[in-house]
Amino acid sequence: MKIAVIGAGSWGTTLANLLARKGVSTTLWVREPELLAEMKEKGRNTWFLPDLELSPELQLHANPARAFAGAKVFLLVVPSQFLRSSLTSFRDILPKKPIMVCASKGIENGTLAPMSQVVAEALESLAPRYAVLSGPSFAKEVGLGLPTTVSLGCADKKLGRELQALFSTETFRVYTNEDFLGVELGGALKNVMAIGAGISDGLGFGHDARAALITRGLAEMSRLGKVMGAKPKTFMGLSGMGDLVLTCTGDLSRNRTVGMKLGQGMKLSAILAETKTVAEGVRTTQSVYQLAHKLGVELPLTEQVYRILYEDKDPAQAVRDLMTRELKGE
């Protein structure tokens, strides 16, 4: 089974390399010709993951038609806000009933759609089959071969088992979950909480505050997920609690790093200008905030992160406002 990986950032490169090293016929689509040239010359993704040596079996292409030729499975690893436009541009060169495995984490701005809805709408005429891969997994650690466990959400049990076998290795263990919506929402919503945890750390509030934020953040994720049709217990698993703990505590977390710099007094525009990588939580916070208001769901942590990001609210004041809210039962 040939797989085409769409997106050559750090996570896309890592997953493509993992599959190629396993012996799966894998092609990585690289959008930037300059990056492609460097990857072929140096055997590394020098822009996003310079320490990872690429498998010689990994095929690299800038031409999407060549990259997708013969593939049955397509692994989507482009930034979530560009997923719809990317799929629309590829629609004429994709096969009928493609298997789309989404590793992009976010909720689309404007439409407020999860990635499953984006894929379904963008490729409606092709009748895509959908799965989502999410869980506590830093690209660098997966690339180093450190033990990692993730969740694969897929409503089709048979397809889920096939993809589980495809992606699993001795160091990358995949669990299946039919609640694909819960799996993808966990991966998106935890990034908002990670920014909040970073803000708390940047303000110097310590471990107590971070633990409280993680716990109440999980409550918010489950609350919104239930209203949207996901199963609350999914958020207690790898794509919920597992990924939440990782991104709220790990030094490799891009979203936590953004939050820390905000807590230390930097402005968002300056933070985003100094890095090539994408912190999905920044754009997702806007979508989640608007989604909560649309659905009538109370998300106090998300609201304060939104006001810090988009209304330039003082982070210390945001914390005071959270701590002095009306007292209530847990």
Domain of residue 145, CATH code:
3.40.50.720
Q: Are residues 319 and 293 in the same domain?
A: yes
Q: What is the CATH number of the domain that holds 198?
A: 1.10.1040.10
Residue 323, pLDDT score: 93
User: What average pLDDT score do residues 45-59 get?
Assistant: 95
- The answer to whether residue 276 scores a pLDDT higher than 80 is no
C-alpha closest to that of 192 among 121, 279, 261: 279
275, pLDDT greater than 90:
no
Q: Do residue 194 and residue 169 come from a single domain?
A: no
Note whether residue 36 is domain-resident. Answer: yes
Tell me, yes or no, whether 328 lies in a domain: no
* Structure-block tokens of residue 264: 């230390």
329 domain-assigned: no
The single residue listed with the structure tokens 């525009």 is: 269
Mean per-residue pLDDT for 165-179? 98
Chosen domain end from 160, 178, 196: 178
Q: Are residues 78 and 225 in the same domain?
A: no
Task: Tell whether 127 and 153 lie within a shared domain.
Answer: yes
Residue 254: per-residue pLDDT: 94
Q: Is the pLDDT of residue 278 over 90?
A: no
pLDDT in tens, 285-304: 999 999 999 999 999 999 99
Query: DSSP H helical segments within the chain, as ranges?
Result: 10-22, 33-42, 64-68, 83-90, 115-122, 139-143, 157-167, 180-202, 206-228, 243-249, 254-263, 268-273, 280-295, 300-310, 315-323
Confidence of residue 229 (pLDDT cuts 50, 70, 90): very high
Mark whether 125 and 17 lie in a shared domain.
yes
Q: Return the half-sphere exposure (C-beta side, CA atoms, 13 A cut-off) of residue 243.
A: 30
Give how many domains the chain has, as a whole number: 2
Q: Are 219 and 190 in contact (CB under 8 A)?
A: no
Active site residue 190: yes
pLDDT level of residue 164 (50, 70, 90 thresholds): very high
Expressed as residue numbers, the domain containing 280 is: 183-323
Residues 143 and 263 in one domain: no
Within a domain: residue 12?
Answer: yes
Contacts 24+ apart (CB under 8 A), 228-232: 228/114, 228/181, 228/185, 228/295, 229/181, 230/179, 230/181, 230/182, 230/185, 231/179, 231/182
pLDDT the model gives residue 277: 80
Say if residue 23 is in the same domain as residue 161: yes
DSSP, residue by residue, 15-55: HHHHHHHHT--EEEE-S-HHHHHHHHHHSEETTTEEEEEPP
The verdict on 152 and 197 lying in the same domain is no
Under 8 Å CB-to-CB from 106, ≥6 apart: which residues? 79, 80, 81, 115, 188, 191, 280, 283, 284, 287
Report the distance separating Cα 60 and Cα 66, nearest Å: 9
On whether the CB atoms of residues 279 and 189 are closer than 8 A, the answer is no
What percentage of the chain reaches a pLDDT higher than 70?
100
Residues 6+ apart with CB under 8 A from 208: none
| 330 assigned to some structural domain | no
- The residue among 155, 178, 201 that closes a domain is 178
Residue pair 300/242 in contact (Cβ under 8 Å)? The answer is no
Res 147: pLDDT:
98
* pTM for the full predicted model: 0.95
Q: Check 40, 42, 140, 190 and give the catalytic one.
A: 190
Examine residue 11 and state whether it is found in any structural domain, yes or no.
yes
Same domain membership, residue 134 and residue 192: no
pLDDT at 46: 92
27 and 170 co-located in one domain: yes
Note whether residue 288 is domain-resident. Answer: yes
Mean pLDDT of 160-168: 98
Domain membership flag for residue 143: yes
d(CA 277, CA 239): 21
pLDDT in tens, 110-157: 999 999 999 999 999 999 999 999 999 999 999 999 999 999 999 999
Among 178, 213, 230, give the residue marking a domain's end.
178
Examine the domain organization and report whether 161 and 233 are in the same domain.
no
The string of pLDDT tens digits covering residues 195-220 is: 999 999 999 999 999 999 999 999 99
| Region 22-26 average pLDDT | 98
Q: Which of 6-15, 137-146, 204-213, 266-275 has the lowest mean pLDDT?
A: 266-275
Percent of the chain whose predicted confidence (pLDDT) is above 90: 97
Q: Say if residue 169 is in the same domain as residue 188.
A: no
